[in-house]
Chain A
Amino acid sequence: MSSLHPVVIARVVDGPLTPMVEQAALLAEVWSRAREAAGPAAPGVVGAALRFEGIVRRGEPSEAHGGDEHELLALDYQTYDPMAEQELRALARQIAEEHALSSLVALHSRGRVATGEVSFVLMVESPHRAEAIAAMSVFIDRLKQDVPIWKRPVWK
């Protein structure tokens, strides 16, 4: 049995997703959500909790270098605001419902994120692992299709 009202948080935040930035983004959402929450999920409902981090790699294929991998300093994430956050939220709600999740948290960076830093965090909870794993994969595929966020390489 899953929660009838999954907790869904989806935000675009400036810069890399350091633990402090992530905590601040979540706290802001949790406080506003607490006011409108229908009630806490029943204990023992969650049987699987997954966390995914998207990390900026050191190398990306470069058009200017014939498609070969070239070394990066950072990625600049450009978002179409406020549509990016609207679409991120809509996607989060849809995936949470389709996969009967207990919760889904998605945070995405805006602006410059250096190599080795985190630009995307996705956390899902569900009663069983199969839904959580499937939801995570589908969410990331759909994010890359439908959420208006572009990355521009900053070459070394």
Chain B
Amino acid sequence: MEVAVLLFGAAATREKSDRVTVVVGTEPTVQDVLTALHEQHPDLRFALPSAETGRLAVNRSFVRGEHPIREGDEVALITLVGGG
């Protein structure tokens, strides 16, 4: 299964794109997508030094670990934010 992941801030600048795609197994979880991002997109490692420290939003809510990713979900990598 392919999962498109939205990028923002410095991660989008570094990838020169507002999204990347990762290839994962048939019933992926948040942790699987973070691991795939780390392995398949080395340019993102500055913002995702390890899969364990990453944060994803799925359908605009923070989710972690074993939360399943389904076809059609909106998945976003929430790297270090900097509002204020």
Seen from chain A, the residues whose Cβ lies within 8 Å of a Cβ on chain B are 54, 77-78, 80, 82-84, 86, 108, 119-120, 140, 143-152
Contacts and interface: CB of A to CB of B under 8 A. Distances in A.
Contacts, number: 56
B1 interface: no
Interface residues of B, number: 17
B82 A86 contact: no
The 6 closest A-B CB pairs, nearest first, are A150-B9, A149-B83, A83-B60, A151-B82, A54-B84, A120-B84
A78 B9 contact: yes
Given A78-B8, A80-B6, A80-B8, A149 B60 contact: no
A149 to B, nearest CB: 3
Contacts of A84: 83
Interface of B: 6, 8-10, 12-13, 57, 60-62, 76, 78-79, 81-84
A84 B83 CA distance: 10
Given A80-B8, A80-B76, A151 B83 contact: yes
A84 B76 CA distance: 12
Contacts of B9: 78, 150-152
Contact of A144 (B6, B57, B76, B84): B84
A86 B60 contact: yes
A144 B81 CA distance: 6
A83 B82 contact: no
Residue of A83, A84, A86 most packed against chain B (CB within 10 A): A83
Contacts of B61: 83
Given A108-B83, A150-B8, A151-B9, 7 more contacts: A80-B6, A83-B60, A83-B61, A144-B82, A148-B57, A148-B81, A152-B9
Nearest to B10: A150
